[in-house]
Amino acid sequence: MTIQKVEISQKTIIFLTIFLLLLFVSWQLRSLILLFFLCFIFMEALNPAVIFLQKFKIPKVLAIIILYIIIWSGISFSLAGAIPIIVTETTNLIKILPSTLDKFTLMG
C-alpha cells in the first residue's frame, strides 16, 4: 500500500480564503445585489420605450418620468380595482369558514 502525499500550496490557500471572503460578503449584501439586478432588468425593459419617445424629441429624463407615471398609474388603478374584491371575498370566507370546518369535522 502506497501512501499518497497531498500538498496544498500557499496560492491555493490564499485563493480559497479570498473566495470564501467574497462569498460571505456577497451573502451579507444579497438584498442589495438583488435590488441592483431587478433595477437592471427594469431599466432594460424600459429602454425600448425610452428610445421610442426620444424619436419624438422628448428628452431622456422626461421620457423616463412619463413612463414611471404611466406604470405606477396602471399599478395603482389595478390595485384600486382588486382590493375591494379581495376584502369582500375574505369577509365571505371568514363568515362561512366555521360552518365548513364543522362539516369536515363531522365527516372525519
DSSP category for residue 5: P
Would the pLDDT of 107 be above 80? no
Q: Are residues 68 and 94 located together in one domain of the fold?
A: yes
Q: Are residues 52 and 1 located together in one domain of the fold?
A: yes
Contact 66, 53 (CB under 8 A): yes
Q: Are residues 7 and 26 located together in one domain of the fold?
A: yes
With 0.85 as the threshold, say if the pTM is over it: no
Q: Tens digit of pLDDT for each residue in 32-75? A: 999 999 999 999 999 999 999 999 999 999 999 999 999 999 99
Domain count, the chain: 2
Contact 85, 78 (CB under 8 A): no
- CA of 41: how far to CAs of 25, 33, 51, in Å? 23, 12, 16
What secondary structure does DSSP assign to 40-92, as a single string? Answer: HHHHHHHHHHHHHHHTTT--HHHHHHHHHHHHHHHHHHHHHHHHHHHHHHHHH
Print the domain residue range for 2.
1-58
The predicted structure's pLDDT at residue 44: 97
The predicted structure's pLDDT at residue 22: 97
Q: Which of 17, 41, 58 lies at the terminal end of a domain, its last residue? A: 58
Q: Are residues 21 and 64 located together in one domain of the fold?
A: no
